[in-house]
Structure 1
Amino acid sequence: MLDNTPRGTICIEDIEIGMTRSLRKIISDRDIEMFAEVSTDRNPVHLDEEYAQDTRFEGRIAHGMLTASLISAVIGEQLPGHGTVYLGQSLKFMGPVRPGDMVFTEVTVTDINFPKRRVSLETKCYVDDKVVLKGEALVIAPSRKFD
């Protein structure tokens, strides 16, 4: 399940500190399998329930970078949106995401450098109101003047 948040672009001229955008997505077995296929990360903690039962997670978990990719989805589709260029992203993994979990991903503007079109963003992913991933992103936002 993916929510229906409007997609598009917010140009640098319209971005304000404190702006927030988000999405909700249920992480499915298919998502995990497709991510393993695309990334070639076939760690059995993601794909083999029997193996994963004997790990510290006591069951299968989604790839951390699959969860992180939801941050990219919010940045690339909503805030700033289409035309955004990633410059960097820090990530701190705080807890597992399991098949069937609803992940709520939120991106918030924390700083803006208008002359350079750079936007700093706080990024967080939650499962059941618990932060499972947090970090910061730096991006170049699109502009009506230059794009």
Structure 2
Amino acid sequence: MIDKKRKLGNLINDLQVGDSYTAVKIIEDRDLLLYLGLTNDANPLYIQHDYASQTPYKQPIVPSVMVFGMVSQVISMHLPGPGSHITQHEMSFPKPVFHNTEVKLTIEIIAIDEKNHRVALSAIGYDTEGEVIVNGKLYVCPAYKPNSLTASSLENFF
């Protein structure tokens, strides 16, 4: 990873209200099993078909924190991008997401606070039926451009 040049995300001066990014992802069983293994989360609602079939959902669902992880990934990798950091969020998950569902997420900048070096973003996600599966607002600190003499040691980020 050190040998590959990486670009920092957008700096606060590069961002404008209305900038947006949309990503589409299918949540596959492999992704779910990796998440559950990493977190040691053995909730039967997420993986046991026999249990989940006895609930109002009728089938296993995707953990809402995993859906939030997809929102976080879009922010970290695309808007504002690498070097950014989520400082606050409020999210709701009005409809469960089932395994192997295609999810469409859109992140949009709704306010910029240059004085405090943060941006407000809206996040909304839909399933293939067009129903909202995640909705929220986040505050994000965009990337800072290194300006010290030692910044050259991070040259793989320019």
Query: 1:114-139: per-residue Cα shift (whole Å, max 9, x none)?
Result: 12211000011110221101111101
Paired AA for residue 83 in structure 2? G
Q: Distance in 1 between matches of 2:125 and 2:65?
A: 12
The question of whether the paired residues in 2 share the 8 Å contact of 1:25 and 1:102 is answered with: yes
Q: CA deviation at 1:41?
A: 1.6
Q: Secondary structure at the match of 1:82?
A: coil
Give the structure-2-normalised TM-score.
Answer: 0.84
User: What residue in structure 1 maps to residue 141 of structure 2?
Assistant: 140
1:59 match: 59
Work out whether 1:50 is the aligned partner of 2:50: yes
Partner SS state of residue 30, structure 1: helix
Name the structure 1 match of 2:69: 69
Query: 1:40 & 1:133 partners in 2: Cα distance?
Result: 24
Instruction: Report the Cα distance in structure 1 between the residues aligned to 2:104 and 2:140, rounded to whole angstroms.
Output: 21
User: How far apart, in 2, do the equivalents of 1:72 and 1:50 lie?
Assistant: 31
Unaligned runs of 5+ in 1: 1-6
The alignment's C-alpha RMSD in Å is 1.6
Residue 17 of structure 1 and its aligned partner are, at CA, apart by: 0.4
1:109-120 alignment, distance < 5 Å: 109-120=109-120
1:80-91 matched pairs, under 5 angstroms:
80-91=80-91
SS at the partner of 2:135?
A: strand
Shift of 1:8: 5.5
The structure whose Rg is larger is 2
The Cα of 1:108 is off from its aligned counterpart by 0.5
Higher strand share: 1
Give yes or no for contact 2:20–2:107 (8 Å, CA) kept in 1: yes
Task: Could you tell me which runs of 5 or more consecutive residues in structure 2 were left unpaired when the two chains were aligned.
Answer: 1-6, 152-158
Q: Is 1:40 the equivalent of 2:40? A: yes
Runs ≥4 residues deviating over 3 A? 143-147
> Corresponding residue for 2:3?
none
Deviations 1:70-107 (A, max 9, x none): 10011000110011011011110110111110011111
Q: What SS class does the counterpart of residue 65 from structure 1 fall into?
A: helix
| Structure 1 residue 145 displacement after superposition | 7.0
Number of equivalenced pairs: 141
Q: Deviations over 1:19-60 (max 9, x none)?
A: 101211100111111111112221111110111000110101
Aligned to 1:3: none
Indicate conservation of the 8 Å contact 2:49/2:60, yes or no.
yes
Check the 8 A contact 2:86/2:141 in 1, yes or no: yes
Matched residue, 1:15? 15
